Amino acid sequence: RVVTPRGPVKGELRVAPRSLYFVAGASAAELKKGENAPERWRLDGLTAVRGRRYLLRPLALEFFFATRREVFVAFESPQDRRVCWRLMKLKARMPLVAHPPGGTKTMRAPHLELHAIRLTERWRRRLVTNFEYVMALNTIAGRSYNDLAQYFVFPWIIADYGGATAPVGALEPERLRAFVERYRSSDAMGADDDDAARFMYGSHYSSAGVVLHFLVRLEPFTSLALELQGGHFDCPDRLFFDVAESWRGCTTSMSDVKELVPEFFYCPELFVNDNRYPLGELQDGRAVDDVLLPAWAADARAFVRGNAAALESEAVSAALPRWIDLVFGVGAKRGTHAETHHNVFHPLTYEGGVDLTQIADATLQAAEAQITHFGQTPPPLFDAPHPPR
């Protein structure tokens, strides 16, 4: 299946010497008859292929093209993915690729790729910007614009950075104590024998819902948000209507630990209701329209410029390694590291948290839906605390 923000599209993938073909809903018989015109991607424009997880399993490949097109293909099994990879090696000249944890001889694990291209060293020497660095870490860790469950994640930056050593869920001391107490209570109730019951945060910092929350004014995310809500927009008070209010919710609410999407730093359109969608009214009677911005931003473009400039500031450069530890580094590892960093999410967000191959068909669909909508924690890229710039 080809995975897109609109969801997976089942079909058949064919690897030819010069092109990659995909026919939606195709069977072998339909292909022989010439039915269902295939989508085609020329391999001479291929710049990279990366192994990807899909539903927390090593099932997918993502193809990157010079046209900046990215195609995310999920297979039925890891074996099918290996077959496709071997066909690519036989029929096409393949560029260097990366692979999820446990890489093969031909596919490097993410942390090995990170070391090979000396990305962190280049960032420390200021040859790579903060934006470029976080984008690259997302890509290497398997985040994708095609899979909303594994969308790119960025930090909140315009705030008091005295709390930047903790995940969003741990920024506010009183709320953090409540999260820790929840975790300790699960131990006291005997949940230490059942990892599925032990977590601090009942929601995730990045999920399909988080992406749709921030991008609801842009297609195709508007249509996806409407589908998720049964054809209607969510309750106006739950929509993204005020940057300051969103930050307040992320630092005070027990159910909100969301981080940002990268569009905050380059896409002013996400803050403007250009399509005049009827987003409703707040409880106080105010209409939800364009996103309310901080007083220092004259308009959405100024806000995005300010965000982008702040991201490259010395304050953010100093704090960024600690955020990276929590999302892509030692603080993201399950077990003691995550507990120490107050960074324990639901087991279903981690690879290996559930074995879908052992789940009965009757409950498999429900488990897959939960993984799809709850969010997925990326694999750690670093074994030690991230060095400063």
Return the pLDDT at 16. 86
For the chain, how big is the Rg over CA atoms in Å? 22
User: 277: closest CA among 217, 231, 210?
Assistant: 217
State the Cα–Cα distance between residues 143 and 227, nearest whole angstrom.
Answer: 23
Residue 372 has pLDDT above 50, yes or no: yes
- 3-state DSSP call for residue 70? strand
Instruction: Tell me the per-residue pLDDT of 77-116, one tens digit each, with 9 for 90 and over.
Output: 999 999 998 888 776 665 545 444 444 444 556 766 777 6
Question: Domain boundaries in the chain?
Answer: 1-100, 161-374
Task: Give me the CATH topology for the region 161-374.
Answer: Neurobeachin; Chain: A, domain 1 (1.10.1540)
Per-residue pLDDT reduced to its tens digit, 136-161: 999 999 999 999 999 999 988 876 42
Record the tokens describing residue 241, joined without a space. 């209507």
Percent pLDDT > 70 in the chain is 74
Q: Can you tell me the mean pLDDT for 241-255?
A: 83
Average pLDDT over residues 43-70: 90
Q: For the sheet containing 11-15, what is the strand order?
A: 11-15, 19-24, 39-42
Most confident of 124-138, 189-203, 296-310, 316-330: 124-138
| CA–CA–CA angle 77, 153, 287 (5° rounding) | 120
Average pLDDT over residues 187-215: 71
Instruction: Return the minimum-mean-pLDDT range out of 85-89, 108-112, 192-196, 373-377.
Output: 192-196
H or E segment to which residue 18 belongs: none
Q: Which residue has the higher pLDDT, 204 or 183?
A: 204
Q: Determine the CATH number of domain 1-100.
A: 2.30.29.30
pLDDT digits over 271-299, tens only? Answer: 999 999 999 999 999 999 999 998 888 99
- Please, how many CA atoms are within 13 Å of residue 150, restricted to the half-sphere of its CB? 29
How remote is the C-alpha of 281 from its chain's centroid?
A: 30
Q: Which residues contact 270 (CB under 8 A, 6 or more apart)?
A: 214, 215, 217, 218, 263, 264, 291, 300
pLDDT at 175 over 60: no
How far apart are the C-alpha atoms of 380 and 389, rounded to whole Å? 20
Helices 314-327 and 300-311 pack at an angle, to 10 degrees, of: 80
DSSP 163-224: GTTS-GGGSSHHHHHHHHHHHHHHHHTTGGG-GGG--SBSS-SS-HHHHHHHTTTSTTHHHH
Q: In the beta sheet, which residues pair with residue 97?
A: 49
